[in-house]
Structure 1
Amino acid sequence: MQKILISLLVSTLLVLGGCSSWQDFSLVHIPDIQQGNIVTPEVVAELKPGMSRKQVRFLLGTPLLVDVFHQNRWDYLFSIKRRNDPLEIKHFSVFFDGNSMVRYSGDIKPAENIAEQKEKKELVVSVPDYTGELGIVDKALQKAGLEIEDD
């Protein structure tokens, strides 16, 4: 009985020793923890000076921080903690003059070639009409004496 336990212990240690680190081998699932507003470079590229506060809120969402002493600045914060990575924090600020946006600053820079990305999204494919045999439902309707209308 002792030999079986010793061999089981040795084989378990050998299997665990094959892992690159002890953090990679975990029986507990650790989810990614995201907090705050996700501001992407594609969304930042859509921001233009002169946009109203409503338009900015539509693009970026409700700001996480609106300072009482600096009401012309909206702050968007985003943090993510992945399993084995250090905490990542991103900050983005939008500045207003009255109701119109003047500028923005922060860790997220606008995406390049946003026009090319929009063209790729608007791909239109034409599908030819099917001129083959009738399907099962169409055949059943035809046998029942009901008309099949083609559009």
Structure 2
Amino acid sequence: MKKILIIIFSLLPMLTGCSSWEEFSLVHSPDIEQGNIITPEMVALLEPGMSKRQVRYALGTPMLIDVFHQQRWDYLFTVKRRNEPMEIKHYSLYFEGDRLSRFGGDIEPASDSDSNLEKKELLVNVPDYDGDLGILERLWHSLGFGKDE
């Protein structure tokens, strides 16, 4: 009986289409993302001459500011997905004084044709509240403040 179970469990990954036991694992392993997520749209916002404050607004706080090279900001992002090698993205910005002088890394800026995002305005009609008074409003009115209905 033990031999039959061993044979069944050794053939189980092949029968299910998995190439190894790691893929067949029933244990959930979540994707692990660490660092700053930098998108091509965010990189497209960068322009030479921007202040450090503007860059921080566009990209967020950098993952690494080297003590010895404070005019260089490094944005790092790693993703480890199940059964895939770790993906590492790196983007560096260089400043002269308080102004951005140059930048570059693994992420290419989005062009206008890549980002077909149209700015849409969302309009919402909010009806006036015609319901009963809340607890604090009733207390306020009972003390003689506010409108009498």
Q: TM-score, normalised by structure 2?
A: 0.69
Which residue identity lines up with residue 109 of structure 1 in the other structure? Answer: E
Paired residue for 1:21? 19
| Cα distance, 1:48 vs structure 2 | 1.1
Paired residue for 1:86? 85
**Higher helix fraction (1 or 2):** 1
Contact 1:45–1:114, Cα closer than 8 Å, also in 2: no
Instruction: Give per-residue Cα distances to partners, 1:94-145, cap 9 Å, x unaligned.
Output: 11111111110111110121685232xx24699xxxxxxxxxxxxxxxxxxx
User: Identity of paired residues, percent?
Assistant: 52
Paired residue for 1:117? 116
Q: Give matches, 1:88-107, under 5 Å.
A: 88-107=87-106
Rounded Cα–Cα distance in structure 2 between residues aligned with 1:94 and 1:125: 35
Which residue identity lines up with residue 16 of structure 1 in the other structure? Answer: P
1:60 maps to 2:43:
no
Gapped regions of structure 1 (runs ≥ 5)? 127-151
Quickly say closer, same or farther: Cα 1:13–1:48, change in 2 above 3 A: same
Secondary structure in 1 matching 2:111: coil
Between the two proteins, the alignment pairs up a number of residues equal to 121
Q: TM-score, normalised by structure 1?
A: 0.69
1:70 maps to 2:46:
no
